[in-house]
Amino acid sequence: MLAPTRAWYERPVLRSLRLQNFRSLRDTGDVELRPIILLVGANSSGKSSFLRFFPLLKQTAEANSRSPLLWFGEERGLVDFQDFENTLSRGATVPEIIVSGRLKIPLINGASESAECQFHSHITAEEGRSFVRRFQYECMDEEFVACFASNRSLTSLALTGLEAVIDLDGQVIFDNLVPDFTITDINLQADELLHDRISQHTHRATGMDKIEDIAESIRYGSAGYVQQTMLEVYGGAKKWIENVQALDPSDPYIQEIKRLAFLRALGGGERWDPMAQLSSALSDLAHGVRYIGPFRRAPARFYRQQEVSVDEIDATGSNLAMFLYSLEERDRSAFSSWVYEHFGFNVRAERRDAQVVLRVNTGTKSNFDLTDMGFGISQLLPVAPQCWLSSQRRSIRHRNSSAPSLLAIEQPELHLHPHHQFQLADMFMGLANAARDTQQPLTLCIETHSEAMIHRFGELVAEDPRRREDITVLFFEKAPDSDTSTVRQIQFDAEGVLQNWPIGFFRG
């Protein structure tokens, strides 16, 4: 796989996900969001629970929910987990659902530094209302922990190695899983403490204006980077510069300044705000989720025309005809050619009086109604147009929806001949390659029971071993007489053979 370029990190990007106590999933472990994630396992082993977390995140973000996760959406309910109690794993030792993630973020606009960070949101419920009780954020050897009551009031705050006292007051706004400290004065208190610590290493005659100039120059980053910004002050700070230059980046004083710079950034407006960076990464992921469920709508002979612009295919494909009909002629032709290239047929939406019909051509002189083509093609649609739309995100200019970040697709192989299942694997791999080439992260999370499709992915890896870094296979299984699922991450080797694959899995 080609090494990611700086463009991948111009915006913060979520790189991995971990779920604990989420339905049957006691702990998924850290799952890297590679271009292709295949979910494999027996029925009721937890595959769908993991995959449906992503549309759950989407419906939460789109509804502007007060809950950390909107378990059931009234308006555009993509998935229904009912409530916190029904989503919490049975037998969980602590009544908390923990959502964790790892992300890479740029530290300062225009700066070359980036940081690997992790977060952990501990969700619980009281009197039927779910909330984040504990939020933990780890970045560059530091751990920031904030705890909250059910009314969102901040009950405690701690940052590794920092003894300074911050007064806590008022409620904190939440952007779903992430606290927003904008309405608190934590950053102002941290700024005052920073001024105090700076004055300890300046000349006693140094005025407050100069101390504020020094504080303003300090930006969060690695200890070496923080020390560098501490020196970015000119005129009237000779003693300060001499004292700072004499210190090693590991000196406790530099470490304390670094931690105060972190706290000052919380809710700090234009300054680098770690919570704003995390919220941005989760928002980009959530709004960019596209979900195709396992029950696609059966084809109809006629569709009532609606003069609407469709931004994406819905979970059941019920808006497929209107999506195709809403395309400009150039895009209709491009889509039809794309489908023919991958699957050997093309499809067009045509107007017939006040109705819209879907017509299919398999390369002959005749066109057929979709309802006369067998059930397999109708179930492949809408998977294909959703994938095509994701591949064309830069060229479809009239669309206002967020760029696709993750396609969550359940059983795309339904009713398909093994040959078409092979073609699906080729199409998915091509989509992943195209996303990487444009340096826009895209993950395909695919739940499948298709031996043919998994075998084809192995062949593709054998043809180009670099592709093995693009694919993760998650194997879900339950122990006998257990409600808890375990998740194993399995990789292809350079020959395209799955390592530690359970013998006879597809044979029973």
Say if strands 443-447 and 406-410 run parallel, antiparallel, or are unpaired.
Answer: parallel
| Amino acid found at 433 | N
* Residue appearing with tokens 């699922």: 485
Compute the CA torsion angle 461, 464, 446, 440 (nearest 10 deg). 160
Q: Give the pLDDT of residue 74.
A: 64
- List, for residues 421-462, the tens digit of each pLDDT value: 999 999 999 998 887 766 678 999 999 999 999 999 999 999
Residues 165 and 192: their CA atoms lie apart, in Å, by 11
More confident residue, 309 or 92: 92
- 97 CB burial (10 A radius; 0-12, 13-18, 19+): buried
Say if strands 36-41 and 443-447 run parallel, antiparallel, or are unpaired.
Answer: parallel
Confidence of residue 283 (pLDDT cuts 50, 70, 90): very high
Helix (H/G/I), strand (E/B), else coil: 90: coil
The share of the chain scoring above pLDDT 90, in percent, equals 48
Q: What is the mean pLDDT of residues 403-415?
A: 91
Residues 53 and 233: their CA atoms lie apart, in Å, by 48
Confidence of residue 303 (pLDDT cuts 50, 70, 90): confident
Confidence of residue 112 (pLDDT cuts 50, 70, 90): low
Token pair of 104 as six digits: 């890479």
In this predicted structure, the answer to whether residue 310 has a pLDDT above a threshold of 80 is no
More confident residue, 314 or 393: 314
Q: What is the mean pLDDT of residues 56-75?
A: 86
Confidence of residue 397 (pLDDT cuts 50, 70, 90): very low
Token pair of 160 as six digits: 């590794």
More confident residue, 152 or 480: 152
Residue 353 region by backbone torsions, left for phi larger than 0, else alpha for psi between -120 and 50, else beta: left
Instruction: Find out whether 214 and 230 touch, Cβ atoms under 8 Å.
Output: yes
CB atoms within 10 A of CB 43: 7
User: Which of 129-133, 250-254, 256-260, 328-332 is predicted least confidently?
Assistant: 328-332
- List, for residues 190-242, the tens digit of each pLDDT value: 999 999 999 988 888 788 999 999 999 998 888 998 999 999 887 778 899 99
User: Which of 116-130, 234-248, 484-498 is predicted least confidently?
Assistant: 234-248
* Residue appearing with tokens 């008022």: 170
Confidence of residue 4 (pLDDT cuts 50, 70, 90): very low
Q: Give the pLDDT of residue 10.
A: 59
* Residue appearing with tokens 């093995």: 468
Give the angle 453-457-460 at the CA atoms, nearest 5°.
Answer: 135
Confidence of residue 412 (pLDDT cuts 50, 70, 90): very high
- List, for residues 235-269, the tens digit of each pLDDT value: 778 899 999 999 999 999 999 999 999 999 888 76
In this predicted structure, the answer to whether residue 2 has a pLDDT above a threshold of 70 is no
Helix (H/G/I), strand (E/B), else coil: 126: strand
Q: Give the pLDDT of residue 318.
A: 87
* Residue appearing with tokens 């908390």: 96
- 394 CB burial (10 A radius; 0-12, 13-18, 19+): exposed
